[in-house]
């Protein structure tokens, strides 16, 4: 019988053999070996701490680990004070028996949907290393897809779990905001940030989510799709969609319909327009990121990725009153969206409008900015309207892209059950 320690050594060897692809920024081989040995000892004694006991897990490079600086993908943070304690999610994973193998690469300060990083290097996409991995949880997506971790923990502020899941062909789950504690995770935008897993199955994501949320993990029920109410928000969210992605999406809908789901077009164009108007002065993420970085944004400008610095600087000019009005308007739109979705189980749309573009194609700033906005467009809806979201790989694509399901806030477990049903239908 293969031991967890043997499995870990195989993963560590695979990471070492692929050292030219900077998926990890830091490894914990000795701590991971100790955790694997402990899990093996429990297994021999017939004891299990739960579904994550012995699972090989990676964590995004913005979670505190006691005794080391939290770099958040930035050269600037290499000189930060060491963390005093593990982030709560890290501590919960350890208590659940997870074998934490290392920290994964990311976009600097989690502020990009493409996953490029000029400081640590860019991990190439799992399907094609010449293509972007998706961000900001870039290393997480590649690690989950290549099998160097069973579960990769990321964060999602505008799609940073679901985008790399979509582009690398794995499952990615964004929970309702504040379901999982954000303490000990370097913030981008506290109003939008959430912590979620990437893995090869919905069940693995559900187990990790339960542990991080402080719940007792339980076997995931697979929801029947018979009578499932699926809304498709056609309109602006379907513009500029790659033809292959569009065809795969329609084929996925046909499979859901054949399994008994009731698929209907559902317009949210008015809600999207009102949200665009409410946030016209500056993106929420930029405003909140500026407050976080204000003390060193100018003094340490040369240490930033210039593109990240430019996006953070967009939040500089917003006055407090404007920000408060913007957030009040958003709160009203969250309520209106919740009412709109009351007669549906999920919204369905492509997680990303395109598969992963090549890294070379986004070298110029104009191309980068245009592609980054398109990559974030669909997933951002889930963050702005405080929905929970799941990206599932769509079959029959030469390059991966995800089917995204969005559900009302607080419906996390129900969404995961639906996702398990959809996963079974899509194969």
Which residues are tagged catalytic? Answer: 60, 136, 160
Q: Is 343 exposed, middle or buried (0-12, 13-18, 19+ CB in 10 A)?
A: exposed
SS3 for the chain, per residue?
CCCHHHHHHHHHHHHHHCCCCCCEEEECHHHHHHHHHHHHHHHHCCCCCCCCCCCEEEEECCECCECCCCCCCCCHHHHCCCECCCCHHHHHHHHCCCEEEEEECCCHHHCCCCCCCCCCCCCCCCCCCCECCCCCCHHHHHHHHHCCCCEEEEECCCCCCHHHHHHHCCEEEECCCCCCCCCCECCCCCCCCCEEEEECCHHHHHHHHHHHCCCCCCCCCCCCCCCCEEEECCCHHHCCCCHHHHHHHHHHHHHHHHCCCEEEECCCHHHHHHHHHHCCCCCHHHHHHHHHHCCCCCCCHHHCCHHHHHHHHCCCCCCHHHHHHHHHHHHHHHHHHHHHCCCCCEEEEECCCCCCCECHHHCCHHHHHHHHHHHHHHHHHHHHCCCEEEEEECCCCCCCCEEEEEECCCCHHHHHHHHHHHHHHHC
Burial 182-198 (b: 16+ CB within 10 A, else e): bebbbbbbbbbbbbbbb
Distances (CA, A) of 399 to 234, 241, 327: 23, 14, 38
Enter the tokens of residue 42: 């429990």
Distance set, CA 150 to CA 145, 306, 414 (Å)? 9, 34, 23
């Amino acid at each position: 019988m293969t031991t967890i320690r043997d499995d870990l050594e195989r993963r560590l060897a695979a990471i070492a053999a692929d050292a030219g692809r900077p998926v990890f920024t830091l490894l914990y081989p000795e701590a991971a070996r100790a955790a694997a040995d402990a899990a093996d000892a429990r297994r021999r004694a017939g004891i299990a701490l739960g579904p994550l006991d012995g699972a090989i897990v990676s964590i995004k490079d913005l979670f505190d680990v006691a005794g080391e600086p939290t770099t958040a993908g930035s050269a600037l943070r290499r000189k930060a004070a060491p963390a005093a304690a593990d982030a709560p999610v890290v501590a919960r994973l350890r208590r659940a028996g997870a074998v934490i193998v290392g920290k994964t690469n990311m976009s600097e300060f989690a502020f990009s949907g493409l996953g490029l990083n000029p400081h640590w290097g860019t991990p190439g996409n799992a399907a094609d290393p010449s293509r972007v991995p998706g961000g900001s949880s870039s290393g997480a997506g590649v690690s989950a897809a290549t099998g160097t971790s069973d579960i990769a923990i990321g964060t999602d502020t505008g799609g940073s779990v679901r985008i790399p899941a979509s582009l690398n062909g794995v499952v990615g789950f964004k929970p309702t905001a504040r379901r999982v504690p954000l303490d000990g995770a370097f913030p981008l935008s506290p109003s939008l940030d959430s912590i979620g897993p990437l893995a090869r199955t919905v069940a693995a994501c559900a187990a990790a989510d339960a542990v991080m949320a402080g719940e007792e993990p339980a076997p995931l029920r697979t929801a029947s799709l018979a009578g499932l109410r699926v809304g498709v928000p056609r309109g602006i969210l379907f513009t500029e969609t790659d033809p292959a992605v569009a065809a795969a999406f329609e084929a996925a809908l046909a499979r859901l319909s054949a399994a008994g789901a009731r698929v209907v077009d559902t317009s949210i164009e008015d809600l999207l327009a009102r949200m665009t108007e409410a946030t016209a002065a500056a993106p929420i993420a930029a405003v909140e990121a500026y407050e976080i970085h204000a003390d060193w944004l100018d003094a340490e400008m040369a240490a930033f990725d210039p593109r990240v610095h430019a996006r953070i600087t967009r939040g500089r000019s917003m006055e407090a009153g404007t920000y408060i009005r913007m957030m009040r308007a958003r709160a009203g739109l969250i309520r209106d969206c919740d009412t709109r979705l009351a007669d549906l189980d999920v919204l369905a749309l492509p997680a990303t409008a395109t598969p992963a573009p090549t890294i070379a194609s986004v070298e110029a700033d104009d191309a980068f900015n245009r592609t980054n906005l398109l990559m974030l467009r669909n997933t951002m809806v889930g963050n702005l309207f405080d929905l929970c979201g799941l990206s599932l790989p769509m079959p029959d694509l030469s390059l991966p892209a995800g089917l995204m399901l969005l559900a009302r806030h607080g419906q996390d477990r129900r969404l995961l059950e639906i996702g398990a049903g959809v996963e079974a239908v899509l194969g």
